[in-house]
Amino acid sequence: MQRAADIAEGILAGRKIALARMISWAENSDPRFPAALAELYPRIGRAWRIGITGPPGAGKSTLTNALAIKARAEGKTVAILAIDPSSPFSGGALLGDRIRMEERTADEGVFIRSMASRGSHGGLARAAVDACDAMDAFGYDLVIVETVGVGQAEYDVVAAADTVVVVLCPGAGDGIQAMKAGILEVADVLVVNKADLDGADRLISDLEEAVHTRGIRRDGDGDGDGRWAVPVLQSVAMRGEGSEAILGAVDTHREHRAANDAEGVRRKKRVAQVRRVVDERLDEELWGAGGLADRAESRLRDGATPYDVADGILAEVLGARKHAR
Amino acid sequence: MQRAADIAEGILAGRKIALARMISWAENSDPRFPAALAELYPRIGRAWRIGITGPPGAGKSTLTNALAIKARAEGKTVAILAIDPSSPFSGGALLGDRIRMEERTADEGVFIRSMASRGSHGGLARAAVDACDAMDAFGYDLVIVETVGVGQAEYDVVAAADTVVVVLCPGAGDGIQAMKAGILEVADVLVVNKADLDGADRLISDLEEAVHTRGIRRDGDGDGDGRWAVPVLQSVAMRGEGSEAILGAVDTHREHRAANDAEGVRRKKRVAQVRRVVDERLDEELWGAGGLADRAESRLRDGATPYDVADGILAEVLGARKHAR
């Protein structure tokens, strides 16, 4: 039974096995995680966190790999957290890329970890942010979180990053769909990967038009006064092309943030993490073993509607809370 | 300003416009919904609810349409709730099918409604079940809920149905991926659509092997003693082929349930709805305007970790609750 203090110490001493253990604690909601985090907390905040998302097949893994190689060449250390798709219908295809990336772990300046999103029932974003905190405390310069852009949980994971890179590729109408669905609104940097394919020019100009004409200019969270002009970049990640420009855009975004309440933006993202921790524990307390399910079932058996039953539960929980204030 | 009682009365009188209004209330979390539901509650439970899910492109909309036509030919009335994909990367493609289906609304015995899943932030499954309750109270024999199989919310929507039909089609390795990812575990009926395409025989035999050899036999919720042998059916929904057999399998599943604590299974699904209502309202109470976000931010500013802040909030909410019991 390892103690939280030992793991924290291991991380500060640069032992990857301690980092891996701490991330497992995050994934498993191990009670030792918060204690280890508390010890490491003063060391957190130095890393810049990049969230990478996009549709299946856009080449996110390849691009992540290319960015990691480029960042290493620039002397930066890199930790990668790859969220495996939660969709039962889109999983699996990334495994090959993953394995190729794992080969890079011989490099001491790179750390790669994957986290399954399926079955996480809402705890995914909380665990992913916890894992990034651990990677950050370890001392990596860049923390890259990569996720397929499906579902609310994956969105939450990416939205927790400092710079969000949305990767699209020509074909399948993804660019248009992304625009319609508002995915551009989360992007700080847009990348058209596979830019050597037919249709890339069209997609790039469509995206540029959307960014400029439709006025999609934002500063990340809508806070602060600074407006950020989302750049539309291109890459051929398979050949490493475009990585330098993308990392440059990330740096520029970082500087933009530094001039526009970077700490305030990060604190807002951290409030979201508090909320996830609270929600997860409330859920366990109210609906876990010995919770309210049996009582709810019995009231339903008596003919109460779900809203009637919920009202009773809420009156008890919130009534008590209000009373306590 | 329409009153809940008027809408409930309209639904009992068979006015579709009242049903449409009540479903909008469900979508918008209108406070009149619970009141209308309470009036209608004794009328709910007669409809059989079919959940249809599967990967994009499997032909779910076409199959839903074909099943509705067949059910109408058998003299049954049908309500359809189509959940539009939440994924920014898979949306849009179904629109054509949707429009074709809407043409059938000239038939008084059919009601079609779509509900957007994007941006619902967890309220989707609650709203979808609410909508099904309203359709049920209206008097439809069958309520079909169709959703793309991505994300937890969509899964919850389908899991709330009485019979879950998972639709796959040859190609893209979806069958294998579905097996790996455990999607078969939610299926009461498996359908291989586009059964005239190459690879259909292989997919069917793979699924049959998975169902029989790997012992995927269940009774829906794991409750009761009855074991249900999941049938593997085929269809060419575009030509209406297979619909009769699928509806037959749904009927057989319904009879199986009737002999195996159907009410108990439904009540368990309804507890899940209570939980969704409670979670949604707790979330609004704790994190909505005037909630805890500002206080959390201020504690974070003082250097507390997210877990520290969460602990303080939980001690207040749950401590008070425990005190109240």
| Interchain CB distance below 8 Å, B317 and A282 | yes
Low-confidence spans in chain A with pLDDT less than 70:
85-106, 118-122, 149-151, 172-183, 213-226, 320-325
| Interchain CB distance below 8 Å, B297 and A91 | no
Q: For an interface test with B, which of A86, A207, A305, A314 has the most B Cβ atoms less than 10 Å from its Cβ? A: A305
**Structure letter (DSSP) for residue A85:** P
Give the whole-angstrom CA distance, residue B37 versus residue B45.
13
Asked whether A65 and A104 are in contact (CB, 8 A), the reply is yes
Q: Could you tell me how far CA B34 lies from the centroid of its own chain?
A: 19
**B97 vs chain A: nearest CA distance in angstroms?**
17
User: Could you report the per-residue pLDDT of B128-144, keeping only the tens digit for each?
Assistant: 999 999 999 999 999 99
A-to-B residue pairs, Cβ atoms closer than 8 angstroms: 207
Q: For an interface test with B, which of A118, A154, A307 has the most B Cβ atoms less than 10 Å from its Cβ? A: A307
Contacting residues of B for A156, CB less than 8 Å apart: none
**B107 vs chain A: nearest CA distance in angstroms?**
31
| Interchain CB distance below 8 Å, A89 and B54 | yes
* Predicted local confidence at residue A320, as pLDDT: 57
| Interchain CB distance below 8 Å, B275 and A282 | no
pTM reported for the whole predicted model: 0.81
Give the whole-angstrom CA distance, residue A154 versus residue A95.
18
Q: For an interface test with A, which of B40, B44, B87, B323 has the most A Cβ atoms less than 10 Å from its Cβ? A: B87
| Interchain CB distance below 8 Å, A183 and B88 | yes
Q: For an interface test with A, which of B121, B275, B311 has the most A Cβ atoms less than 10 Å from its Cβ? A: B275
Q: CB-CB: which of A87, A267, A323 is closest to B297?
A: A267
Q: Is B43 exposed, middle or buried (0-12, 13-18, 19+ CB in 10 A)?
A: middle
Strand partners, B166: B53, B190
User: Parallel, antiparallel, or unpaired: how do β-strands A142-148 and A48-54 relate?
Assistant: parallel
| Interchain CB distance below 8 Å, B278 and A122 | no
How many residues does the structure list for chain A? 325
Q: CB-CB: which of B34, B178, B313 is closest to A88?
A: B178
**A168 vs chain B: nearest CA distance in angstroms?**
10
Contacting residues of A for B323, CB less than 8 Å apart: 320, 324
Give the whole-angstrom CA distance, residue B152 versus residue B155.
5
| Interchain CB distance below 8 Å, A275 and B282 | no
| Interchain CB distance below 8 Å, A88 and B297 | no
Q: For an interface test with B, which of A52, A117, A147, A152 has the most B Cβ atoms less than 10 Å from its Cβ? A: A152
CA–CA distance from B255 to each of A115, A181, B85, B166 (Å)?
41, 42, 32, 19
Strand partners, A48: A142
* Predicted local confidence at residue A322, as pLDDT: 56
Q: By CA distance, what is A293's nearest residue in B?
A: B271
Contacting residues of B for A306, CB less than 8 Å apart: 270, 273-274, 277
| Interchain CB distance below 8 Å, A91 and B323 | no
Contacting residues of A for B122, CB less than 8 Å apart: 152
| Interchain CB distance below 8 Å, B88 and A177 | yes
Contacting residues of B for A286, CB less than 8 Å apart: 275, 278
Low-confidence spans in chain B with pLDDT less than 50:
86-97, 99, 220-225, 323-325
Class of domain A42-260 as given by CATH = alpha beta
Asked whether B208 and B216 are in contact (CB, 8 A), the reply is no
Write the CATH number of the domain with boundaries B43-260: 3.40.50.300
Asked whether B217 and B230 are in contact (CB, 8 A), the reply is yes
**B12 vs chain A: nearest CA distance in angstroms?**
18
3-class state of residue B166 by DSSP: strand
User: Complex ipTM, two decimals?
Assistant: 0.86
**B298 vs chain A: nearest CA distance in angstroms?**
9
Q: By CA distance, what is B124's nearest residue in A?
A: A152
3-class state of residue A173 by DSSP: coil
Helices (H), A182-261: 200-212, 243-258
- Show me where the domains of chain A are located: 42-260, 276-324
Helices (H), chain B: 4-12, 16-27, 32-40, 60-73, 95-102, 124-138, 151-159, 174-181, 200-212, 243-258, 262-287, 293-301, 306-324
Contacting residues of B for A278, CB less than 8 Å apart: 286, 292, 310, 313-314
User: Could you report the per-residue pLDDT of B184-237, keeping only the tens digit for each?
Assistant: 778 899 999 999 999 999 989 988 888 876 555 555 444 444 688 899 999 999
| Interchain CB distance below 8 Å, A275 and B267 | no
3-class state of residue A93 by DSSP: coil
